Structure 1
C-alpha cells in the first residue's frame, strides 16, 4: 500500500430536505471512511473512499461534509475494496462512474449513433472496444459501474444509444422509459 500511515476520517454527512418551503440540510449522519481520492465532477468535489460498513468504494460530496475529523484508526487498503492494486486510479474510476454513483462493475454493450463518437470517447477514453454496427451506428463495449447514474447518463441520449447487454441494464432502461411515459400520461 503506497500510504501505510493513512488514517480514517469521520464526518457528519448532510442531505438537503424541504423545511417550511425552503431547502436546507438535514441533521446528517456520522460516517467513518478510509479516504482514497479527491475527484471533481459536474462542478462539485467528491471524496472517494471506503465506508467501514461496506466492501466497496463510495463517493461523498465535500460540501455536504461537516465536522470532519482525522482519527487514529488505520485506513483500509483500497486493494481490499476495489480492483486497484498499486494505486487508486482516479481517471479509470471516474470513467467507470456516472454522476458519481457507484454500482456493481459490469461489462456493457451499447449501440450508438455515429454522431456520439466524441461523447463516447470523452466518457470512456480512446482505448475502448469499438466496432461498426452499420453505416449509421457503432457498438461500444466497456466495463463500468452499473447504477442509477448510468441509467440517467444513457437517458440523455434518447434513441441514439441502445443498451444491447446486459439484460438487467436493458430492463432498467425500459422501466425508466415506462415511468417517464406514465408521468407524462403518454399512451
Structure 2
C-alpha cells in the first residue's frame, strides 16, 4: 500500500502546490515533506528537487525564492488568475437561469482552481442568498440535450410551461408537444434562450430554456437552414425588449442630447444621430414594437419621444390611455 502511495508522489505535490500555495503563501522544503508525509508519502530533499524539475518540465510554474534564511516554494501562474475567476463567479452568481444549488456547486468547482487562501476571496465575493434564481433544476440537462440536437442536426420535441397564480407549472397549448429545429442558444437579460425554426409557422422563434420540459432529440433532420442563414442574430436581440416579440418596425425617436448614451448603450454605436437643434437629436432604430418597448420609452420620461411611424405613435397613445384609465379609479 505504501508503495502505491509513493507512486502518487507527483500528484500529491501538485495538490499541495495548488491548494496550499500562491503568490502570497509559500512553503519550505521541510513543510512540503511534512505535508507529503501526511498523505503517506516519504520524500528526501534531493528527490524533491528532482520532482520540482519534472513538474516544471511538464508546465507547472513552480517558483523557488530565498526569504531571509529559508528557501520557499509556491505555484506561480495558473490556468486561471484570481481576477479571471472573479469574473466567472460574478457571471454564475448573476445568471438567473442557474438555480441556487447549481450556482453553489459551480462556484465550489471554481474555488478549486486557486489556493485555499484565494478561494476565501472568491467566497467573500459570492452573495447568492436572496437573488431571484431559476426554479427549474433541469436546465443543465436541457442545455445538454439542445447541444446534442444542434451537433447531430436533429429536431427536438418538448413541452413548454409557465407559472400560474398558485406557483405551479402550467403547460402551454394544453400540454401539446412543440417540435422545432434548434439553431442557436443565446443569453439575454440574464436568461437562456433557444433560437429555433418552427416549420408549422414557417418562422424563427425563441424559447426560455428553463421553461422547456421533457426535451428529447427527434429522429428528424433540422429544417429552416436557409431562414437561419438569412437571420441576423445581433439585430434580432437588439430589436427585442426582455425577449418579448412583436412586429419589427423602424421607429424614429427624438431625444434630448443627454439621452444619447442610453440609446447608444441599448442599440449600439451604429445608429444615426442627427441634430435637430442645440438640445435635441433624432435617430432611427429597428425594434419589435411590444408593450415592453413602449414601457421602456415611458420610463425615460420626457427625454425621449417616439415621432414615427404614425401607427407606433398611435399605439403609444393608446398604451398611455389604458394605463391612465387603470389608475383613474
Instruction: Specify the TM-score bucket, using the shorter chain as the normaliser.
Output: 0.7 to 0.9
The change in CA–CA distance for 1:117 and 1:61 in structure 2 (over 3 A counts) is same
**1:1-187 to 2 correspondences below 5 Å:** 6-19=153-166, 23-28=167-172, 29=175, 30-80=177-227, 84-85=229-230, 88-185=231-328
- Spell out, residue by residue over 1:13-55, the C-alpha distance to the aligned partner (whole angstroms, 9 max, x if none): 0011113xxx221134321112222121221111122223323
3-state SS of 2:249 partner: strand
CA contact (8 A) 1:57 1:102 kept: no
| CA distance in structure 1 between the partners assigned to 2:235 and 2:291 by the alignment | 19
Q: TM-score, normalised by structure 2?
A: 0.50
| Count of matched residue positions in the alignment of Structure 1 and Structure 2 | 177
Between structure 1 and structure 2, the one with the greater Rg is 2
- Spell out, residue by residue over 1:128-147, the C-alpha distance to the aligned partner (whole angstroms, 9 max, x if none): 11101222221111222223
- 1:78 Cα deviation from its structure 2 partner: 4.8
| CA distance in structure 1 between the partners assigned to 2:296 and 2:157 by the alignment | 31
CA contact (8 A) 2:199 2:224 kept: no
The change in CA–CA distance for 1:104 and 1:134 in structure 2 (over 3 A counts) is same
Deviation >3 Å, runs of 4+: none
3-state SS of 1:49 partner: strand
3-state SS of 2:269 partner: coil
Q: Which runs of 5+ in 1 are unaligned?
A: none
CA contact (8 A) 1:108 1:143 kept: yes
CA contact (8 A) 1:39 1:90 kept: no
| CA distance in structure 2 between the partners assigned to 1:79 and 1:95 by the alignment | 22
3-state SS of 1:57 partner: strand
Q: TM-score, normalised by structure 1?
A: 0.83
Q: CA RMSD of the aligned region, Å?
A: 2.2
- 1:4 Cα deviation from its structure 2 partner: 10
If asked which structure has higher relative contact order (CA below 8 Å, sep 6+), I would say 1
Q: Relative to total residues, which structure has the larger helix share, 1 or 2?
A: 2
| CA distance in structure 2 between the partners assigned to 1:78 and 1:114 by the alignment | 42
